Amino acid sequence: MDETHIIRGPPAPENPTMGTRSLGELCLKFLRESPDTITMVNGVTWGRVLECVHTGTCARTGIRGDVVAIVAENRIEYPITMIALFLIGAPAALFNPTYTSRELAHALNTARPKMVFVSGAVRATLYQACRSARHTINIICYDKADRSNTYADCLRRSSKHFRVDTFQPEPSDVTSEVAAIVMSSGTTGLPKGVLITQGNIISSMANLHSAIAMGLDIRSNVEVLPWYHVAGGMAMLNYLRSNVKTVFLPKFEPRAYLRCIQEHRPNFLHVVPPIAVFLAKDPIVDEYDLSSVQTIACGAAPLSREVEELIYARLKVPGLRIRQGYGMSETTQAITFYDGEAHKLGSIGKVRSGQLAKVIDPDTGRTLGPNQQGELCFKGSLIMKGYIGQEGAIDAEGWLHTGDIGYYDTDQDFFIVDRLKELIKYNGFQVPPAELEALLLSHPAVKDAAVIGIPNERTGELPMAFVVRAEESNVSAQELIAFVEAKVSNAKRLRGGVRFIGEIPKTSSGKILRRSN
């Protein structure tokens, strides 16, 4: 392998498994070591988690090694179910509870779970989706349901078969055995099933635990990111592993979110760009006290330097740091981040411990040097095993090709430019939508924005903006076109125009659904 311009993260944390032989055994170790530690805001302790795991029921149904799905909003049963599945070596498939029956049927047929845990709000959609499933599925409802197995029934049966003080998980090959299946965002097609191994999750846990030991201050947080998505789900497991006290919400509701921050006073927030823009620009933020927040970690999509600066100016919290990370379903969690004190505005951080990175020319595959834009590629213990039933993304040397365009500077700090497939081609020039969106968001009359390329016979594509006006704003399309034109090169002008809409469509992880416009 050509080692030229390969960027290496710090050495991997020592002994990430802590002497255990599987992810389940590792979870059991820290559960038993801290039985009185409160892990969720409602007072749930690790000891109570141990009491609630339904391992006995799962083992009695003989599903070790078989996939079990969870289709639910954030709720206390979610992490309990995941840990229980880790204990018995059953991969946990995490499905979006807002899926339509068609989307859910695709997920069922992709991951083929033998059992599904579902919340009452999603139960009817799941039953409809099961009609299109090509295999038999046992459904267990978290909430009370007529003529259905319930979570409470599982706990009652489990208590007769499972002793938490003597149970010991079976050893696993952590590098190959799958622990979780998440569905890729699917902005360019049907979602793919991403296979995350036990070793991937153990590495993610070890990275955060090591960063905290070295001074990264995360004591408590308000969590609103959905746990079915890799950004939220893996973060939740990392917080549990490192005893970070978590206040969780089932979904983002602006005032409920702000009220939780004011009342519970976390020192850490984990957000995606839409929430960051909300913190930067929504007037109701000024009604609440957010002074406890010392760190805001943002990922899932690029966050512009302009929005970062607006947050600093808005919150005025002494010592506040906004830390961007970069990851995707295929990297388990953030594969670049700022674990240390130093950070740069607009950067997605440095390569995480034990990982490798390079930037390549998308056309030739040639490895590029500092400040040269190309496709980001990563390799290491955080990279997925692969897709269910599909090839792609990981090359013969083990490099994950992300499809994202970025670069690193002479300090080996990384920056995202845009998605390779979302770049607008104007007269042969590549126009990154994220750059134009960041400019529009810096305008006080703009609440949100998305930029796409519209076909043009002469030039290939023209950049066009969809804009959500700020409250009480009457800004015109021409004003915004002129605003952008004054700040960009010729190819990046909004020649496709500006269209005003009520809301920018996005995935739950914060990526703009450009093709739905």
Supply the DSSP string of 105-152, one letter for each residue.
HHHHHHH--SEEEE-TTTHHHHHHHHTT-SS--EEEESS--TTSEEHH
Domain boundary (152, 175, 198) is at 198
Question: To the nearest whole percent, how much of the chain has pLDDT over 90?
Answer: 52
Domain-embedded: residue 485? yes
- Bridge partners of residue 379, in order along the sequence: 356
pLDDT tens digits, one per residue of 209-229: 888 877 778 889 999 999 998
Q: Among candidates 219, 194, 180, which has minimal Cα distance to 89? A: 180
Tell me: pLDDT of 123 over 50: yes
* 59 vs 419: which has the higher pLDDT: 419
Q: Taking residues 302-327, what's their average pLDDT?
A: 89
Look at the chain and report how many structural domains it folds into.
2
* 308 vs 300: which has the higher pLDDT: 308
Which of the listed ranges 146-155, 234-243, 303-312, 365-374 does the model predict with the highest average pLDDT? 365-374
Residues making up the chain, counted from first to last:
517
pLDDT the model gives residue 514: 77
Q: Taking residues 185-202, what's their average pLDDT?
A: 82
Output phi, psi for 150, to 5 deg.
-120, 165
Cβ atoms of 233 and 205 closer than 8 Å: no
- Bridge partners of residue 131, in order along the sequence: none
**Which distant-in-sequence residues (6+ apart) come within 8 Å of 257 by Cβ?**
222, 224, 249, 275
Q: Taking residues 385-392, what's their average pLDDT?
A: 85
Q: Taking residues 429-435, what's their average pLDDT?
A: 84
From residue 422, give the alpha-carbon distance in Å to each of 188, 192, 236, 508: 10, 19, 30, 19
For residue 368, give the amino acid letter: L
* 64 vs 266: which has the higher pLDDT: 266
Q: Enter the tokens of residue 109.
A: 């047929």
Q: How confident is the model at residue 517 (pLDDT cuts 50, 70, 90)?
A: very low
Q: Taking residues 248-255, what's their average pLDDT?
A: 91
For residue 495, give the amino acid letter: R
pLDDT the model gives residue 73: 94
Question: To the nearest whole percent, how much of the chain has pLDDT over 70?
Answer: 88
Q: How confident is the model at residue 153 (pLDDT cuts 50, 70, 90)?
A: confident
Instruction: Lowest mean pLDDT of 90-94, 241-245, 279-283, 390-394, name the range.
Output: 390-394
Domain-embedded: residue 70? yes
- Bridge partners of residue 273, in order along the sequence: none
Task: Classify 500 as helix, strand or coil.
Answer: strand
Cβ atoms of 329 and 185 closer than 8 Å: yes
User: What's the whole-number average pLDDT of the chain?
Assistant: 86
Q: Taking residues 413-417, what's their average pLDDT?
A: 92
* 517 vs 75: which has the higher pLDDT: 75
* 92 vs 429: which has the higher pLDDT: 92
CA distance 105 to 132: 6
Q: How confident is the model at residue 28 (pLDDT cuts 50, 70, 90)?
A: confident
Instruction: Lowest mean pLDDT of 106-110, 161-165, 249-253, 333-337, name the range.
Output: 161-165
The one-character DSSP state at 488 is: S
CA distance 278 to 149: 40
Domain-embedded: residue 46? yes
* 510 vs 99: which has the higher pLDDT: 99
Tell me: pLDDT of 55 over 50: no
Q: Among candidates 347, 497, 362, 457, which has minimal Cα distance to 410? A: 347
DSSP string across 24-88: HHHHHHHHHH-TT-B-BTT--BHHHHHHH--HHHHHHTT-TTS-EEEE--S-THHHHHHHHHHHH
- Bridge partners of residue 204, in order along the sequence: none
Sheet with strand 400-408: strands edge to edge: 7-8, 355-360, 374-380, 400-408, 414-419
Tell me: pLDDT of 191 over 50: yes
Sign of CA dihedral 161, 167, 170, 176: positive
CA distance 300 to 508: 10
What CATH number has the domain bearing residue 101? 3.40.50.980
Domain-embedded: residue 132? yes
* 371 vs 57: which has the higher pLDDT: 371
pLDDT tens digits, one per residue of 460-508: 899 999 999 998 899 999 999 999 998 888 889 999 999 999 999 987 6
Beta strand spans in 204-338 (E) = 220-223, 245-248, 268-271, 295-298, 321-324, 326-327, 334-337
Q: Among candidates 195, 242, 192, 198, which has minimal Cα distance to 218? A: 242
Domain-embedded: residue 380? no
Cβ atoms of 345 and 320 closer than 8 Å: no
From residue 301, give the alpha-carbon distance in Å to each of 97, 243, 315, 404, 416: 21, 27, 22, 10, 9
Domain boundary (166, 198, 230) is at 198
pLDDT tens digits, one per residue of 378-387: 999 999 999 9
Domain boundary (160, 175, 198) is at 198
Tell me: pLDDT of 98 over 90: no
Tell me: pLDDT of 54 over 50: no
CA distance 504 to 93: 28
Domain-embedded: residue 137? yes
| HSE, side-chain direction, 13 A CA sphere, residue 237 | 31
pLDDT the model gives residue 41: 55
pTM: 0.86
Q: Taking residues 390-396, what's their average pLDDT?
A: 80
Domain-embedded: residue 469? yes
pLDDT the model gives residue 40: 65
Domain-embedded: residue 510? no
What CATH number has the domain bearing residue 495? 3.30.300.30
Q: Enter the tokens of residue 241.
A: 């592993």
DSSP string across 315-342: H--TT-EEEE-EE-GGGSSEEEE--SS-
Q: Among candidates 351, 349, 354, 350, which has minimal Cα distance to 381? A: 354
- Bridge partners of residue 93, in order along the sequence: 69, 181
Q: Which domain holds residue 433?
A: 424-500
Tell me: pLDDT of 340 over 80: no
pLDDT tens digits, one per residue of 358-375: 999 988 999 999 999 999
pLDDT the model gives residue 382: 97
**Which distant-in-sequence residues (6+ apart) come within 8 Å of 131 by Cβ?**
105
